[in-house]
């Protein structure tokens, strides 16, 4: 296979941050510190948005963080699932440049009092960033421990004032087939969509991530904004979000639409319910050889099991 290596001369003008956007970001950073964001957010924000390669050390660590060994940065950023950038594990890092994250906006729609379209900066601004070290268990049988940087999804949703009709929240990934070569193939129904029941979305464990290992989220991990739901299989953690909407009815979820007999809407990590083609009892932590036992709700049962009391989780898998 012939792999084209990009040289500086190959960089398209569209890949270079325009001066106006760069300047706007600088102004924004100065202002956000000026209006008194919490220390954690102020400390985190400037390097996150202005200097992607700077390590953060001032982040508040969430109480939900695991102290298990963190997966290597290299593995987290080079062994990915992001079908918009190709279907093999190496494709997302190889084709990461296809994802254009500037400018970026997030549309808020549906059953809420404050719908609208926000720039990424305005979307993130009110929220204090923190570090949350979570396990992520992929439906394919591997897992990682990832130090995310982000904020609580519940705080975001409350801000837009969902109405009493809002029973679910739906998420949508950028649709840009011109640049994202994976979207020019019909492997999935594009754009990638996901959804949560409102009480799941409001659980304090659910988060939106803008970074990992103290750096801006690499494109292959779902820059500039992705969902992280640690008690569900990895495919619920939708990447590169451009739209969040509230609905009365259960929204479509890409893998559930694609293969309903294999992927349910809930997709809670559950060793007692095998995938039709393989067991879910064990998993391999990336970087280790031995297999581990998979835990119900990926080990987060204490925080989330009550969301499903009375439900038959074999039926609602
Ligand atoms: N989001 C989008 N938009 N497209 C995808 O293909 N893959 C999902 C999820 N989010 C995917 C996505 C799957 S299957 C997994 S396991 C996780 O992203 C992987 O996240 P990671 O690459 O950051 O580990």
Q: Which of 17-31, 33-47, 118-132 has the lowest mean pLDDT?
A: 33-47
Ligand 1 closest atom vs CA 234: 16
In CATH, what number does 11-308 get?
A: 3.90.420.10
Q: For the residues of 203-228, what is the DSSP string, one character each?
A: STT-EEEEEETTEEPPGGGTTT-EEE
Distance, CA 237 to ligand 1 centroid (Å)? 6
pLDDT at 1: 31
**Which residue has its alpha carbon closest to ligand 1 atom 12?**
238
- With bands split at pLDDT 50, 70 and 90, how would you rate the model's confidence at 59? confident
User: Distance between CA atoms of 184 and 211, rounded to whole angstroms?
Assistant: 28
Return the minimum-mean-pLDDT range out of 9-23, 91-105, 286-300.
Answer: 9-23
For the chain, the structural domain boundaries read 11-308
Q: How far does residue 235's CA lie from ligand 1's centre (Å)? A: 5
pLDDT tens digits for 200-246?
A: 999 999 999 999 999 999 999 999 999 999 999 999 999 999 999 99
**Structure confidence at residue 40 as a pLDDT band (50, 70, 90):** very low
| Residue nearest to ligand 1 atom 11, measured at CA | 82
- For residue 60, what pLDDT band results from cuts at 50, 70 and 90? confident
Mean pLDDT rounded to a whole number for the chain: 87
Greatest Cα pair distance, the chain, in angstroms, is 60
The whole-number average pLDDT for the span 91-113 is 98
For the chain, give the number of residues: 317
End-to-end CA distance of the chain: 39
pLDDT value at 288 more than 80: yes
d(CA 259, CA 149): 32
Q: Which atom of ligand 1 is nearest to the CA of 174?
A: 3
């Amino acid at each position: 296979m012939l792999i084209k290596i990009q040289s500086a001369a190959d960089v398209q003008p569209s890949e270079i941050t325009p001066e106006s956007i760069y300047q706007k970001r600088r102004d924004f950073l100065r202002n956000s510190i000026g209006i008194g964001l919490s220390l954690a957010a102020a400390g985190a924000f400037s390097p996150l948005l202005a200097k992607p390669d700077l390590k953060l050390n001032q982040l508040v660590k969430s109480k939900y963080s695991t102290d298990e060994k963190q997966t290597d940065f290299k593995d987290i950023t080079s062994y990915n699932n992001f079908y918009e950038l190709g279907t093999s594990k190496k494709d997302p890092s190889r084709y990461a440049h296809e994802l254009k994250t500037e400018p970026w906006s997030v549309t808020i729609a549906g059953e809420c009092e404050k719908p609208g379209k926000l720039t990424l900066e305005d979307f993130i601004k009110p929220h204090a960033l923190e570090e949350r070290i979570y396990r992520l268990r992929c439906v394919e049988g591997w897992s990682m421990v990832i130090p995310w940087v982000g904020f609580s999804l519940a705080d975001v949703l409350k801000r837009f004032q969902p109405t009493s009709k809002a029973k679910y929240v739906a998420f949508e990934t950028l649709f840009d087939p011109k640049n994202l070569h994976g979207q020019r193939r019909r492997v999935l129904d594009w754009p990638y969509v996901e959804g949560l029941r409102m009480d799941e979305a409001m659980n304090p464990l659910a988060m939106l991530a803008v970074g990992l290992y103290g750096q801006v989220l690499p494109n292959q991990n779902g820059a500039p904004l992705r969902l992280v739901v640690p008690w569900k299989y990895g495919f619920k953690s939708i990447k590169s979000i451009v739209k969040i909407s509230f609905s009365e009815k259960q929204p479509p979820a890409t893998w559930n639409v694609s293969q309903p007999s294999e992927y349910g809407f809930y997709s809670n990590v559950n060793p007692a319910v095998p995938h039709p083609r393989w067991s879910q009892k064990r998993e391999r932590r990336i970087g280790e050889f031995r297999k581990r036992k998979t835990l119900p709700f990926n080990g987060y049962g204490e925080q989330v099991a009550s969301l499903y009391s009375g439900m038959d989780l074999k039926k609602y898998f």
